[in-house]
Every structure is written in structure tokens, then in C-alpha cells.
Structure 1
Amino acid sequence: MTVDSPSSRPGDQRSLIARSAAELFARKGYAATSMNEIAEASHLSKPGLYHHFKDKAEVLFYIAHGHVSRLVDIVTGVEALDLAAEQRLPELIEAFMLEYAEAQNEHRVLTEDVRFLDPEAQARVLDKERTVVQVFADAIAASRPDLHDAQLHKLLTMFLFGMLNWMFTWFRPEGRFTYEQMVPIATQLFVNGISGMDIEPRKTTRKQ
């Protein structure tokens, strides 16, 4: 599948369609959403929609690839700051949480609907996801240089992503805390947690 990434211009018609489609996919699921519904949500006729996207799979790719591309831009931007090891991981977590807060629908599509893409399109999205994971794993490794285990670094990275992804399924910003107030809470919870983690797993004794 050959398709451009979303334009950085907020008024770009394809980006506006993708935002409407992401909301539908997040609420109803990709499989249950029709092109008619996407056209209606985008205030377009069906021929008008097909002028911008040839089919629903192209819409899905545009959403997923565009979102993961923004995440790659975020991590490469943080890397370019050349921060000290103890600053890099908190900066990444903060940047991701603020991006997630503005793109919850797109992130749900990225995590749940990429499986509907053809293998070539999936590979392009997953390749960018691997870049993001590696940057976080490297930041975790830098914060705990005594943990000489690349697999453990990636495991901790997936724990972190799991924590952040799950938070956005239950958190309501209209309550006691805002997204901005949750940033230091999540950051300190994870960073302080790995700082006190034992290098060697504790042995457990099972009852026979």
C-alpha cells in the first residue's frame, strides 16, 4: 500500500477525515465501521470521501501510520535534546502522555486495528513502533546502567506502555486531576519504581 503520511496542516481534508474515522473506529471497531459512516461523520458525500481515500484500509493505514510517525518524531526530538540520563526517561514519558491525551482515538486504532492491514502496511507501521520501543528501552537502560540485560529493558518498556495505555481507558480529565497533573504522577511512579528494582529476581518458595 502506498499512501502519504498525514499533513502537518490542521485543515488538511485527509487529516480531518482520518480524525472522524479514528473516532468511529475507536467507538465501534474498525470491522463494524462503514465508508458510508465515515463519509457522514466527515460531512462528505461518499464520492467525496473516495476522492481522498480509495478504501477503508487506506483510511486505517493513514491513521495508524500517521500516529506512530508522530510518536517517532517525539522520541527523536527528545533524543536531540541530549539530556542527562536521569532526565531522558521522564521527558519521554511526559511527551508521550501529552500526545496520548490529544490522540486517544488514534492510539486505540494503532494498538488494536493494525492487524486488519495487509502485511506490507503492517510492516511499515510496526517498523516505526520498534523505533519507539527501542528509544524507550535505551532510556531505561541509561537510567539503570547496572541492569545489563537488553531483554529486561524491553520488558520494562512494555510495562510502561501498558501502564500508560491502560490509564487512558479509565481516566477522566474532567475529574479531580487533569492530564497535565497526571504526568508527574505516572512519571514518578515508574521512574522511582525501576530505581528501586532488585537486579536479581527474588526467589520464591512454593508450597508442595
Structure 2
Amino acid sequence: MARPKSLQHEFRRDEILDIAAQCFAERSYPAASMNDIAASCGTSKARLYHYYDSKEAILFDLLDRYTQRLLALIGQAEATAQRRSLDERAALHELIRTFLDEYEHSATRHIALLHDTKFLGEAQRELILDRQRDVVSAVTRFLTRAYPHRLDARNQTALTMMLFGMINWTFTWLRPGGAMSYPAFAEEVIALLERGLAPAA
């Protein structure tokens, strides 16, 4: 019987994923090598292979964990909305705050998700893409429930992608410690939705 992985082993894998995500963001996935990742980890390539047998294995584990995390955040937002008896709009607003809080701390993972999924093998790529579709479907449900007078079968996709367009690319311009914080930007997105999607007073 195989020996179970130790907590230290999993902790080290988490560290490797953090560093690899940074390498992919700075150099690009194709340009970053196992040597680069090992050097950034302060270890040898041989030692790195003890944890991952290829660069693609690192990328898949990175994206696998991150997409599971995004789906878990959606589940948490739904549970929070039920527990606090939030109305549908307040539930959507809470989800936006939750996503942007996550994005502030996982920019390099998000860059990998947006740019590097295409480098996975077919089966792994489809798994990650299916998770992304699940995230989009969930956000569409939140939006449709929050603004039922504005969303229907004709415009659901467009308005959902409009929302993602506002929040998904923050890593390109919204810097922690800058003129606007991630929480402040979340409130701006919410205010724009309310003014743009809410019925006229």
C-alpha cells in the first residue's frame, strides 16, 4: 500500500505552486522552465521532480486547485446569502466582493487560468474549461436572480461576460496599495451594476 503524503509534502507543493505561478506570470508558461522554477524555489531540478514530474503537471495542479477554489467561493457566497437572509441583489454584491478579495491575493493564478489553460493536454484542458463554464453559469444565475427585469435568454451571456470583463482583468492595472483598493473597486462595480441594471426610479 502506498504511503500517505505528509502534511509537509503538501505544504511544499503549495509553495512550489505559488512560485511556479509567479514564474509563469513573469516569463510566460512556454518560456519558464523546470530549471527556472527550481532555482526560484531554492532547490534542484531533481528535487523538484520529487513533487512534480513535469511543468505541465505543475500547471494542471495549479489550475485544478484554483478552479476548485473559485467554485468553493461561489458555494460559500450562496451559503452566506442564505444564512444572512440576503436578497438576490445583495447576494450578487457579496459574490462580487468575494471574487475581488480572492483576485487581490491570487493574481498570478488568475493570469495562468486566463492565458495558460491552452497548454494542457486535451483531457486536463477540458476539465479546467468545464470548471470555468460552471463558474460562468453560476454567476449568470446570480445575475439573473438579482436583475430579472434585465436578463433573459437573449442577453444573459453578454451581461455575464460584461461583469467578468470588469473584474477579471484587474491584475493588469489594479495594484495593491495603489490609489484604489480591491474592496473599493468592488463597491464601484456594484454601484455601476445598480445604476446600469436596476430599474429606473
Short-chain TM bin: 0.7 to 0.9
Structure 1 residue 148: deviation in Å? 5.4
Identify the residue that residue 3 of structure 2 maps to in structure 1: none
% of aligned pairs identical? 34
Structure 1 residue runs of 5 or longer lacking an equivalent are 1-6, 198-208
Identify the residue that residue 48 of structure 1 maps to in structure 2: 47
| 2:35 counterpart of 1:39 | no
In 2, Cα distance between the equivalents of 1:30 and 1:196? 45
Structure 1 residue 174: deviation in Å? 2.1
TM alignment of 1:139-150, pairs within 5 A: 139-147=142-150, 149-150=152-153
Structure 1 residue 160: deviation in Å? 1.0
Identify the residue that residue 21 of structure 1 maps to in structure 2: 20
TM alignment of 1:98-117, pairs within 5 A: 98-117=101-120
The answer to whether the 8 A contact 2:23-2:32 is kept is yes
What residue identity is the alignment partner of 2:11? D
Among 169, 176, 180, the residue aligned to 2:179: 176
Among 86, 89, 98, the residue aligned to 1:86: 89
Structure 1 residue 191: deviation in Å? 3.5
Q: Which moved more, 1:130-139 or 1:93-102?
A: 130-139
Aligned positions, number: 190
| 2:136 counterpart of 1:133 | yes
Q: What TM-score do the two structures reach when normalised by structure 1?
A: 0.85
In 2, Cα distance between the equivalents of 1:57 and 1:151? 38
Runs of 4+ in 1 over 6 A off after TM superposition: none
Cα gap change, 1:134/1:118 in structure 2, threshold over 3 Å: closer, same or farther? same
SS in 1 for 2:30: coil
Structure 1 residue 132: deviation in Å? 1.0
In 1, Cα distance between the equivalents of 2:176 and 2:116? 25
In 1, Cα distance between the equivalents of 2:194 and 2:122? 36
Output the aligned Cα RMSD: 2.0
Structure 2 residue runs of 5 or longer lacking an equivalent are 1-5
